[in-house]
Structure 1
């Protein structure tokens, strides 16, 4: 596993834990609801990142980058 992959995985795990904790402790949702909300936003964020990366790669290819 490359350091880039380790960094991305570490960032995702810490982000998931922080999101769940804030959703539970600050917003007052149940632990199960917090997990569902966190999972939903994690999924949306992952899809957004993937789409944006593809768009920018396509733009870069068009400019000869």
Structure 2
């Protein structure tokens, strides 16, 4: 079983790697769908989605840990 701190560190590490992939992807994907942005706009969008991803990943990990301990 993971502690809350371990869950957070795992979620943060996973998301940090995803952050760089997502940021780079915005320069490729946005123009493909006709969205014109700047590097700073891409960064802000990536930051917002990164925060959401950390919260989602941490919450799911805690739910799975709680569910596993009930069995």
TM-score normalised to the size of structure 2?
A: 0.64
1:47 aligns with 2:55: yes
Please, what is the CA RMSD of the aligned residues? 2.0
Q: Structure 1 stretches of 5 or more lacking a match?
A: none
Change (3 A) 1:17 1:57: same
Q: What's the counterpart of residue 24 of structure 1?
A: 27
Q: Structure 2 stretches of 5 or more lacking a match?
A: 1-8, 31-35
